[in-house]
Structure 1
Amino acid sequence: MDASLTKAVEQWLSWNKDEASSNEIKRLVDKKEYSQLEKLLCSRMEFGTAGLRAKMGAGFSQMNTLTIIQTAQGLLKHAQSQFTPEELASKGIVIAFDARYNSKSYASLTASIFARAGCRVRLFSDICPTPYVAFSCRFYGLCLGVMCTASHNPKQDNGYKVYWSNGAQIIPPHDKAIADAIVNNLEPWESSWEIPSIPEIYINELINDPMAEVDVEYMKLLKTSSTRLEKNRKSKLKFTYTPVHGVDTIFFYQLCTPAFNLPELIEVPLQCKPDPEFPTAEFPNPEEGKGVLKLAMEAAEAGGSRHVLASDPDADRLAVVEKQDDGSWRAFTGNELGAIFGWWAVSNWKNSGSPDGENTYMLASTVSSVILKTIAKKENLLFEDTLTGFKWMGSRAKELIDQGKKVIFAFEEAIGFMYGQNVLDKDGVSAAAVMAEIITTLHEDNISLSQQLDNIYNTYGYHVTNNSYYICHDKEVINTMFARIRNWGKNSGVYPEALGRFKISGIRDLYTGFDTREEDKIAKLPVSKTSHMITFYFDGGAVLTMRTSGTEPKIKFYSEMIGSSRESCTSELNELIELMVKDFYQPEKNGLIARSLS
């Protein structure tokens, strides 16, 4: 064992007071598992704009009590640099947790560290949806918020999501500043290991439970999103709902459903209770479609329901599946649901009596469908795209709200929806309620969701998308692949002019900050050197984006073709993707693994 690894082992065993994880490191030392020890101790989890997300276990590179103590200490130090002692004492922080292993203890630990520093702490006493944290930040006017969750990751993972005073997830420069503060406060303060459990923690007068009040106030505002409460009550439809072993059963069944006067709900017995084992879904991500939702569709069939609504385990995303006339089930993509929500938001806005298009916005991430842009242009309101992730849309929404503007809808293709501006983050709770209302409204005219989607495309043009990814574990291969695109034909700084017969009319590279569509060739969206992201704009309106993932070994692509018919769009888009794979990805040469569709 070399000197650097020896030092890392000694440091871990010196700082760590959790017996189980210390014993794990000692076991690896005894077995001389030096390569594994290096992975666990010689690198740290990266704190980024999504906070933390990693596997739980011993070592500085994983989620455990020591690394969360270090994270909470760094977060506190950064908060103290941004807010006055009076602000932290009166406004403070909100902290919540999901049903995963250790989420509750991570939340209690964070609450203890902040309270000992004189900060006011609102700590939810039980599991709750992630949107409750974003909501609470603005409702109470707080300094910041923390949600302990790994969202839809596998059971062995956990995470630590940070919100700022604007009610949105953190963006630069806060992410880097927090990361630096963590590194500067790695040694645990002696008091940090004094972690009272819930409910004993509420003995501290600086800590209280906001659950009851937030339940009431969130649902009160949610009701304002409904345009037909009494009509909902009369609907005879049945909806099947699953939280995929997550937190949202109690909130959707007992709070959200009555708030919207929604009709009868059918449970999915094996998935309706929170369970950190996720026994029926190894990857509990409803975005994956019918594979994850098989049990829900079976429950719907048995109960005579034609619609499945599904949240991910922390209830910030929504999936929708509809039974078709031929008996098959259709899982809608995030882009398709975005089109339906966008149409609904604009319809209600137009019927509001005084639509002000110059001050009304819809937002979408830059890799999502441009359907909202098309709708906004035709209906005379405004549209903006942002970088990928709701941290950017939420922050931009708050800027617009502060300017006196109104944001009626925002979405990302990964089934994340922000309907209205009560919560400046994706919110699967409100999205499920609004979607149920959309379905009940359409049902009165015997229109299905699939038919309405066709109606939308007939009105605004077909927007056919195709998104997927390749897996690559070698960063050098990825870097070489993107460098080749930026130096096409071995010409430095020259990008491709076409893909086969598809002529490229514009290119935006948010890794280098280059955008041919701008007069000065400088991209208007923020530039990031942490991940590659190139968007190609083609003659005729097609758009293709390639980007690397910040948390997974994936090279993703997002593509869209706009035209007068689904068939022609699909055919042309498939041709474009084949050319992209052949000319850009070169999977055989680069050893890339295609996404499994099983």
Structure 2
Amino acid sequence: MSCKTGIPDLDEKIEEWIAWDQNETTCNELKRMVVEQKVDELKAILLKRISFGTAGLRGKMAVGYACMNDLVIVQTAQGLLKHLQKEKLDLLKKNGIVVGYDGRYHSRRWAELTAVIFLNGGYPVKLFSQVTPTPFVPFATKKYKCAAGIMVTASHNPKEDNGYKVYADNSAQIIAPTDKNIQDSILQNLVPLKTSWDTSVLTQSCLLKDPFQEILDDYLKTISEDILSDHKKLNEAVGMTFTYTAMHGVGYFTFQKLCDLIGIKIVPVPEQRDPDPEFPTVKFPNPEEGKSSLDLSFRTANSINSVVILANDPDADRMAIAEKHPNTGEWKVFTGNELGALFGWWLLDCFKLKYPDEPISNVCMLCSTVSSMILRSMSKKEGFTFFDTLTGFKWLANLTLKLEEDNKKVVFAFEEAIGFMCGTRVLDKDGVSAAAHFATMTSYLYSKGQTIAGKLDEIYSVYGHHISCNSYYICHDGEKIKAIFNRIRNFTGPNTYPQDILNGKYKITSVRDLTTGYDNNRPDNKAILPVSASSEMITFQFSNGLVCTLRTSGTEPKIKYYTEICASPSITDKKAIEDTLAEMVDGICQELLQPNENGLITRSTS
């Protein structure tokens, strides 16, 4: 059978793939595509390469260099090994790496291939023997002082995807320029070694250890200790029953054990309790999607008279909450920003109880710049220190480490995409510990005759309404996305941004463009937050206090928008604020993003 298309550079890549790939399934798939002369598809998967960035790798599982498969994983692990040999050799020799994986298709296989490459290099590997929550990997990286941590997961992406997340030796996700250095190292080590495919080393090497039980025990003990003993007693006394969904992921086993330690009772959604790579009951296995992803949770909760739902995403690093209204019976799914406000109040209160003599000025709370600024408003009134960072927990975690070096106490960090870091036990978002803290907070509130929604209203009455509207459009055309943002940057002429929306009704007072480094709110027009030309991110501030950020996703084909009005506590007409926000969001989307003209796909209603 001829494996040629008649296109020299493409045929070279086809021949190369067949020579290198030892996975029969993907090899046969490639050969079939050649026989069927699917030239455009072959060009897309062989002449382009999936890029390693600060989020590691994430993409569709299929044949080709642009996708996730055995060969790409082997090349990635070989490149990562060479990078660590160059940058962290002593630590690599002494403590090696830790590798975890979730319940998706091929996750275990790719974790094992990674382990094989490091073991054959002569370095210690701690490979989890079963699926684990993503937070276990940074936790283990920190505990064992590893040179790196690797988690094979695509988090909440559709079932067709998988990913490869890397943590640095400081247990935080890697940041630039480490990502570029790893990418360069991958490209310099593309030829797979014969030993890279030899999994027999997994049963023979004395350098291989299974950290599962030790990490599970230590994690449970550590997180349990973070919850005050009086609150554990209160959990048992109140006796609330929480509905829990793992969204066909890996969270239930660990969370159930943690709940046993802190006095929380959960009833899992049975259809979604255990890992299932098919995600058969949800179109998108992401609780951030809201009610559309929680249908079975509502059904389970209603059947057992449970009024609060706790949800993790499939790799258990994110957490969502829903509460049933006591009068109407309607379910409210809280946004990440609303949960950030609740966590901020609760964890500050717990810190004061636990450390009554610690100056509040030493306390820090953090959020990403596209998240609600409720923590900033709280800090002005309460006296703790607030910081915001670029989007992504890699920035929050690395700033946390710097603050700890200055003897500051970081008690909470969050991003609006339902990611929460309660304390510094895990330097990443952790949906398991977040669910434990939130369930404890809920027991406390209900013991006082108060609901979660009621407490949120109380927080806003003290610090001012912070009303946000965040969503996205789907766009699979990267060139179209570039054109949209280039139009915004050259709105009325070269290098001119929009000055208002809705025919001048709402004026734009400042623009910060973290793609180009422009910020007209600074004396030199230069942004102080890190700049990345490889992603799109523009923030507009309006004269009425609304802040809007437009950005592209690092892991999905989306244009995201984030908007928030931060009102004074003296403004009590919430409906008027909401109406203004809705009008402005519609104007921003129609005038700047032009979804109809650009064929953007609207997020389905949740």
TM range (shorter): over 0.9
* AA in 1 matched with 2:436: A
Q: Report what 2:508 is aligned to.
A: 504
Q: Which amino acid aligns with 1:38?
A: K
Q: Secondary structure, in 3 states, of the residue corresponding to 1:496?
A: coil
1:75 aligns with 2:77: no
* CA–CA distance in structure 2, aligned partners of residues 396 and 484 of structure 1: 34
Deviating beyond 6 angstroms after TM superposition, the runs of 4 or more aligned structure 1 residues are: none
Instruction: Output aligned runs, 1:403-552, within 5 Å.
Output: 403-490=406-493, 492-499=494-501, 500-552=504-556
The one-letter amino acid paired with 1:21 is T
Aligned pair 1:46/2:14, yes or no? no
Verify: 1:7 aligned to 2:12, yes or no: yes
Residue 98 (structure 1) aligns with: 102
- Indicate the RMSD between aligned Cα atoms, in angstroms: 1.4
Partner of 2:575: 567
Residue 579 of structure 1, CA deviation: 1.7
CA distance in 1, matches of 2:452, 2:303: 21
Distance of 2:213 and 2:548 partners within structure 1:
46
TM-score for the superposition, normalised by structure 1: 0.97
Does the residue aligned with 2:226 lie in a helix, a strand or coil? coil
Structure 1 equivalent of residue 150 of structure 2: 146
SS where residue 204 of structure 1 aligns?
coil
CA distance in 2, matches of 1:281, 1:273: 14
AA partner of residue 345 (structure 2): W
2:602 aligned residue: 594
What is the aligned partner in structure 1 of residue 587 from structure 2?
A: 579
2:289 corresponds in structure 1 to 288
The whole-number CA distance in structure 2 between the counterparts of 1:468 and 1:153 is 16
Distance 2:602 2:548 in 1: 18
**Does residue 120 of structure 2 align to residue 116 of structure 1?**
yes
State the SS of the aligned residue for 1:229. Answer: helix
CA distance in 2, matches of 1:485, 1:41: 33
Q: 1:158 maps to which residue?
A: 162
1:100-146 residue CA offsets vs partner (Å, 9 max, x unmatched):
11111111111111111121111111111000001111111111100
Shift of 1:202: 5.0
Identity %: 47
- 1:56 CA drift (Å): 1.1
Q: Aligned partners of 2:128 and 2:477: how far apart in 1? A: 41
Distance of 2:302 and 2:130 partners within structure 1: 33
Distance 2:426 2:179 in 1: 21
Q: Deviations over 1:138-172 (max 9, x none)?
A: 11111110001111111121111000011111110
**Aligned partners of 1:334 and 1:412 also within 8 Å:** yes
1:211 is the counterpart of 2:212: yes
Equivalences for residues 268-347 of structure 1 within 5 A? 268-325=269-326, 326-347=328-349
In structure 2, C-alpha distance between the alignment counterparts of 1:207 and 1:249, rounded to whole Å? 27
Paired letter, 2:602:
A
Larger mean CA deviation between 111-120 and 473-482 belongs to 473-482
CA distance in 1, matches of 2:370, 2:544: 18
Q: Quick check: 1:47–1:175 contact (8 Å CA) kept in 2? A: yes
Matched, 1:350 2:352: yes
CA deviations over 1:39-63 (Å, ceiling 9, x no partner):
2211111111111111112111111
Q: Give me the whole-angstrom Cα distance separating, in 1, the residues matched to 2:40 and 2:410.
A: 51
Q: Which amino acid aligns with 1:407?
A: V
Could you tell me how far apart the structure 2 residues matched to 1:32 and 1:476 are? Answer: 26
Structure-2 change in CA distance of 1:94 and 1:527 (3 Å): same
Deviations 1:9-63 (CA, angstroms, capped at 9, x unpaired): 0000011111111111111111212122112211111111111111112111111
Q: Deviations over 1:475-503 (max 9, x none)?
A: 3332232223222311x323223223222
TM-score, scaled relative to structure 2: 0.95
Distance 2:156 2:549 in 1: 24
Report if aligned partners of 1:88, 1:118 keep a CA contact under 8 Å in 2.
no
Q: Following TM superposition, by how much is the alpha carbon of 1:176 offset from its aligned partner in structure 2, in angstroms? A: 0.6
Q: Which moved more, 1:478-487 or 1:553-562?
A: 478-487
Q: Tell me the residue number matched to 2:385.
A: 382
Letter in 1 for 2:462: T
The answer to whether the Cα contact below 8 Å between 1:504 and 1:539 also exists between their aligned partners in 2 is yes
Q: List per-residue Cα deviations over 1:530-582 (Å, max 9, x = no partner).
A: 11111111224211111112232221110001222321220111121122123
Please give the alpha-carbon distance, in whole angstroms, between the structure 2 residues aligned to 1:102 and 1:364. 33
1:561·1:572 contact (CA, 8 Å) conserved in 2? no
Three-state SS of the structure 1 residue aligned to 2:172 is coil
Amino acid in the other structure paired with 1:330: K
Task: Give the 3-state SS of the residue equivalent to 2:271 in structure 1.
Answer: coil
Deviation at 1:243, TM superposition (A): 0.3
Instruction: Answer whether contact 2:55 2:555 (CA < 8 A) is retained.
Output: no
Q: CA deviation at 1:282?
A: 2.5
Contact 1:306 1:323 in 2 (8 A): yes
Write the distance in 2 (CA, Å) between the matches of 1:42 and 1:477: 21
Q: Does 1:132 align with 2:136?
A: yes
Q: Which amino acid aligns with 1:90?
A: K
Distance in 2 (CA, whole Å) between partners of 1:584 and 1:344 is: 38
Is the CA contact 1:360–1:405 (under 8 Å) kept in the aligned structure 2? yes
When structure 1 is superposed on structure 2, of 208-217 and 33-42 the one drifting more is 33-42
How many residue pairs get aligned? The number is: 591
Paired residue secondary structure (2:410): strand
SS at match of 1:465: strand
Moved more, 479-488 or 75-84: 479-488
Aligned to 1:194: 198
Partner of 1:107: 111
